[in-house]
């Protein structure tokens, strides 16, 4: 299996590349995090789940991972919303940082090593602006400091958006802007009345959004690191500007691989706060949807394809996950066969190879999940037939657990499948009643289980149960 390599589509080169970290065995990666002015919507969470799969896959392939995800706690939106709520920016954003971590836990997203807040990195940002001024990339105008994109010859190399010669010197103060506006962008911004401001060496003001990611990644990962990620909407202007800032200051290649997640869309349009077509994770949980089903849905489409969110899709994810859970329960509760007739260890090895190849193929999660479903169909067939031996069962469980270290969808990880314990004890009680020929009691329990959506089958290997789909 060692021949399977990890390959990623690099937005910079626009092709698939074999992955080679700068330091053998160790990966440093930077992931653009949320702007903490409100709850994240499930579109944002799709991007964070892609990064979770990336992180887990890197570990699965044996790398040590150092991941940084910034928390943007100062920008036009956070300032506006904090003001409207009558709170200081720190107090206001604290709430949404907490909510963000709750959402990550709900979706079983592994924690990154660092979650720097922009407002804690002002000295590093000031330092970077000074370096850019010294290198001739920055200029002052109307109390703000701007990056002069015509001084960075490679501007546009990531996004393909080249500055138009006739716009040289045209400036843009807003932090998010359209491709037509390849203009000088603000590094350090003059603040308005009542806005948070830092009185620092480069003059009073506050940081522009792009500056924080360059300053924090250089501080925590070094001037040159392996992977930088975000959603496709980050490519321009955010990542293009990060490159101009970082490489303009250091003269080194900022990040070696650029990976971008496609959007979650609703009826053909990007899910976005500004469009009003969004759901938060809390909205869906309040409607009674299971968090792991939401995770399953959001990872089920490879990250470079758009994912169209529908409730039918969510329902299909629920059924797919229930099929997995039913098979695992069957496997757990069916007594072992003397020897495995149908389930050879070659079947498990084939699954392991296919699963690893799928991940190595630019994190093809659809293919990885397909491999899992194929394996579990074979498990069902074997359980219908001669059964599965204890040895084969151990090998299966290990392979499934390894796969789940990336997928994060198995019931074991849910922390106490208490419902399952209750069902199992009822099934055991029914078996005992049948053994003492108390069929009335046995039937009563069967009815009770049926009301709970559980079907019991009496097989040559004893009673096995599954949840109705």
Can you tell me the distance from the alpha carbon of 395 to that of 346, in angstroms, rounded to the nearest whole number? 11
Give the containing element (helix H, strand E) for 7: strand 7-10
Least distance from C-beta 272 to ligand AMP, angstroms? 6
From residue 125, alpha-carbon distances to 136, 149, 319, 414 in Å are 17, 18, 49, 41
Question: Does residue number 237 form part of the binding site for ligand AMP (CB under 6 A)?
Answer: no
Tell me how far, at minimum, the Cβ of 418 lies from Zn ion, in Å.
41
Task: Quote the least distance from Cβ 330 to ligand AMP, whole Å.
Answer: 36
Closest distance to ligand AMP from the beta carbon of 238 (Å): 8
In the complex with Zn ion, the residue whose CB is nearer, 210 or 356, is: 210
Using CB under 6 A, which of the segments 63-71, 118-126, 267-275, 333-341 binds ligand AMP?
A: 267-275
Residue 264 near which of ligand AMP, Zn ion, none (CB within 5-8 Å, type-dependent): ligand AMP
Residue 147 has φ and ψ, to the nearest 5°, of -95, 130
Partner that binds at residue 44, options Zn ion, ligand AMP, none, CB closer than 5 to 8 Å by kind: ligand AMP
Cα distance between residue 272 and residue 242, in whole Å: 23
Nearer to ligand AMP, 214 or 378 (CB): 214
Q: Among residues 469, 436, 441, 434, which one has the least CA distance to residue 455? A: 469
Strand, helix or coil at 104? helix
- Give Cα 22 to chain centroid, integer Å: 23
Structural contact between residues 36 and 73, judged by C-beta atoms closer than 8 angstroms: yes
Rank residues 32 and 79 by Cβ distance to Zn ion and give the closer one: 32
Stretch that binds Zn ion, among 31-39, 61-69, 106-114, 440-448 (CB under 5 A): 31-39
Residue 196 structure tokens: 């948070």
Beta bridge partners of 172: 185
Q: Which is nearer to Zn ion, 213 or 368 (CB)?
A: 213
- The residue among 110 and 233 lying less far from ligand AMP, judged by its C-beta, is 233
- Binding status of residue 43 toward ligand AMP by CB under 6 A: yes
Q: Which does 213 bind (CB under 5 to 8 A by kind): ligand AMP, Zn ion, none?
A: Zn ion
167/183 Cα distance (integer angstroms): 7
Q: CA-to-CA distance for 150 and 160, rounded, in angstroms?
A: 15
The encoded tokens of residue 100 equal 């963000």
Length of the chain: 469
Nearer to Zn ion, 68 or 396 (CB): 68
32, 227, 358, 375: which one binds Zn ion (CB under 5 A): 32
Calculate the CA dihedral of residues 315, 319, 321, 323 and round it to 10 degrees.
180
Cα gap 294→461, rounded to integer Å: 35
Q: Rule CB under 5 A: is residue 71 a binding residue for Zn ion?
A: no
Report H helices in 86-175.
Answer: 89-106, 122-134
Q: Considering the rule CB under 6 A, would residue 46 count as an interface residue with ligand AMP?
A: yes
Q: Nearer Cβ to ligand AMP, position 32 or 379? A: 32
3-state secondary structure of 402: helix
Contact of residue 280 among Zn ion, ligand AMP, none (CB under 5-8 Å per partner type): none
Look at residue 270 and give the partner it binds from Zn ion, ligand AMP, none, a contact being a CB closer than 5 to 8 Å depending on partner kind: ligand AMP
Could you give the CA distance from residue 239 to residue 245 in angstroms, rounded to a whole number? 10
- Residue number of the CB closest to ligand AMP reads 231
Residues in 208-227 that interact with Zn ion by CB under 5 A: 213
Q: Is 34 in the site for ligand AMP (CB under 6 A)?
A: yes
Q: Which residues are near ligand AMP by CB under 6 A?
A: 32, 34-35, 43-44, 46-47, 230-231, 233-234, 261, 263-264, 270-272
Q: Which residues are near Zn ion by CB under 5 A?
A: 32, 213
């Amino acid at each position: 299996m060692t021949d399977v390599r990890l390959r990623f589509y690099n937005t910079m080169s626009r092709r698939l590349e074999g992955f080679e970290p700068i330091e053998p065995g160790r990966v440093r990666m930077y992931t653009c995090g949320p702007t903490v002015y409100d709850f994240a919507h499930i579109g944002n969470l799709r991007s964070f789940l892609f990064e979770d799969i990336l992180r887990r896959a890197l570990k699965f392939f044996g790398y040590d991972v150092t991941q940084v995800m910034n928390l943007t706690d100062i920008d036009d939106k956070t300032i506006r919303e904090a003001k409207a709520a009558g709170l200081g920016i720190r107090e206001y954003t604290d709430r949404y940082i907490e909510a963000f971590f709750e959402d990550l836990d709900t979706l079983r997203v592994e924690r990154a090593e660092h979650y720097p807040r922009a407002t804690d990195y002002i000295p590093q940002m000031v330092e970077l602006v000074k370096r850019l001024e010294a290198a001739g990339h920055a200029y002052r105008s109307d109390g703000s400091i701007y990056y002069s994109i015509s001084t960075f010859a490679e501007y546009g190399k990531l996004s393909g958006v080249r500055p138009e010669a006739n716009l040289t010197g045209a400036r843009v103060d807003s932090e998010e802007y359209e491709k037509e506006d390849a203009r000088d962008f603000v590094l350090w911004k003059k603040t308005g009345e009542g806005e948070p401001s830092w009185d620092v060496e480069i003059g009073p003001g506050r940081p522009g959004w792009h500056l924080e990611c360059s300053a924090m990644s250089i501080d925590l990962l070094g001037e040159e690191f392996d992977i930088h990620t975000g959603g496709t909407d980050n490519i321009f202007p955010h990542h293009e500007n990060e490159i101009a800032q970082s490489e303009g200051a250091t003269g080194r290649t900022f990040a070696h691989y650029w990976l971008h997640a496609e959007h979650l869309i609703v009826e053909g349009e990007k899910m976005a706060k500004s469009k009003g077509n969004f759901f938060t994770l809390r909205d869906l949980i309040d409607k009674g949807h299971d968090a792991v089903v939401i995770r399953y849905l959001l990872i089920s489409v490879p990250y470079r394809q758009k994912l169209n969110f529908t409730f039918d899709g969510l329902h299909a994810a629920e059924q797919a996950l229930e099929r997995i859970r039913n098979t695992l329960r069957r496997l757990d509760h069916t007594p072992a066969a003397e020897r495995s007739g149908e389930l050879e260890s070659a079947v498990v090895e084939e699954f392991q190879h296919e699963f690893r190849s799928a991940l190595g193929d630019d994190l093809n999660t659809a293919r990885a999940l397909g491999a899992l479903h194929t394996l579990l169909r074979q498990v069902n067939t074997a359980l219908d037939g001669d059964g599965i031996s204890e040895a084969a069962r151990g090998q299966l469980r290990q392979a499934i657990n390894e796969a789940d270290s990336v997928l994060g969808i198995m019931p074991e990880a849910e922390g106490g499948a208490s419902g399952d314990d209750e069902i199992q004890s009822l099934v055991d009680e029914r078996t005992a009643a049948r053994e003492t020929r108390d069929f009335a009691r046995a039937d009563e329990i069967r009815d009770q289980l049926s009301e709970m959506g559980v079907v019991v089958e009496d097989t040559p290997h004893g009673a096995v149960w599954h949840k109705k789909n």
